[in-house]
Amino acid sequence: MTRRPTWLLVLLLPLATAGLVALSSRAQAQDASVLKPPQGASLALVVFQDLECPRCSRDHPLLQEAARTYKIPLVQYDFPLPGHSWAFDAAVITRYFDAQSKKLGEEYRDYIFQHQGEVTKDNLRSVSEKFAAEHHTALGFVVDPQGKFAAAVRADQELGERVGIRHTPTIYLVTNNRKGPPFVEVVDSSQLFQMIDSLKNE
């Protein structure tokens, strides 16, 4: 058996300890208790997304299709990333339209994802006004006078931080099945339907 020199062990020990600490803190950041299906559902799709995120835009129709196909809820949380200049404001406007009707809010989210490449921080307002006009409604001069929509978006962000979200989209399949894990992350969205089938067959 080859013995490592003492000096090498001295160098490696702090690195190993740091790795264990990182893993431990990451485990503590995860709060699986918040990842549950809505009341009345045994299985749900949960996604933390950023309206400015290109991959979120690509995966959005797939998530909608999966929810329709399997008749399971799609729970969407806003998680605007710090480096994205207009994502938070777009999420706030989404809540504004949500307050008029959930259908209108969903249609605005779809619209922003579809036109994502055309949106900038400077033209977000005009893009949103165009959507409003096409849907025979108006975008208020002040969208969030009391700050309640911004507070709702920040609540989503805080929830994501509790769960341990590090990127968007982060997609989970959550279940109330006691036999297996309460949630599983969908790392490869091309495997989404297969993963749903597997969970439904358990």
Residue 179: its pLDDT value, please? 75
Distance in angstroms (rounded) separating the CA atoms of residues 49 and 74: 12
Per-residue confidence band for 178, with pLDDT thresholds at 50, 70 and 90: confident
Tokens linked to 80? 């605007």
Residue 32: its pLDDT value, please? 56
Residue 14: its pLDDT value, please? 38
Q: How large is the average pLDDT for residues 52-79?
A: 97
Does residue 187 surpass a pLDDT of 70? yes
Distance in angstroms (rounded) separating the CA atoms of residues 139 and 161: 31
CATH number for the domain that contains residue 125: 3.40.30.10
Q: Which of 94-98, 167-171, 179-183 has the lowest mean pLDDT?
A: 179-183
Residue 13 lies in a domain: no
Residue 7 lies in a domain: no
Helix (H) or strand (E) run with residue 24 in it: helix 6-29
User: Tens of pLDDT along 61-72?
Assistant: 999 999 999 999
Per-residue confidence band for 31, with pLDDT thresholds at 50, 70 and 90: low
User: By residue range, what is the domain housing residue 44?
Assistant: 33-201
Number of domains in the chain: 1
Residue 20 lies in a domain: no
Residue 166 lies in a domain: yes
Residue 24: its pLDDT value, please? 30
Q: What percent of the chain has pLDDT over 90?
A: 75
Using a 10 angstrom Cβ sphere, with 0-12 exposed, 13-18 middle and 19 or more buried, the burial of residue 139 is: middle
Q: Which of 34-38, 113-117, 187-191 has the lowest mean pLDDT?
A: 34-38
Strands 43-49 and 74-78: parallel
Residue 60 contacts residue 45 (beta carbons within 8 Å): no
Does residue 29 surpass a pLDDT of 70? no
Residue 3 lies in a domain: no
Residue 168: its pLDDT value, please? 97
Tokens linked to 9? 């062990």
User: Tens of pLDDT along 92-110?
Assistant: 999 999 999 999 999 999 9
Residue 5 lies in a domain: no
Q: How large is the average pLDDT for residues 31-48?
A: 86
Per-residue confidence band for 171, with pLDDT thresholds at 50, 70 and 90: very high
Q: How large is the average pLDDT for residues 127-139?
A: 97
Average pLDDT, the chain: 86
Residue 160 lies in a domain: yes
Residue 12 lies in a domain: no
Distance in angstroms (rounded) separating the CA atoms of residues 21 and 140: 48
Residue 3: its pLDDT value, please? 46
Beta bridge partners of 171: 47
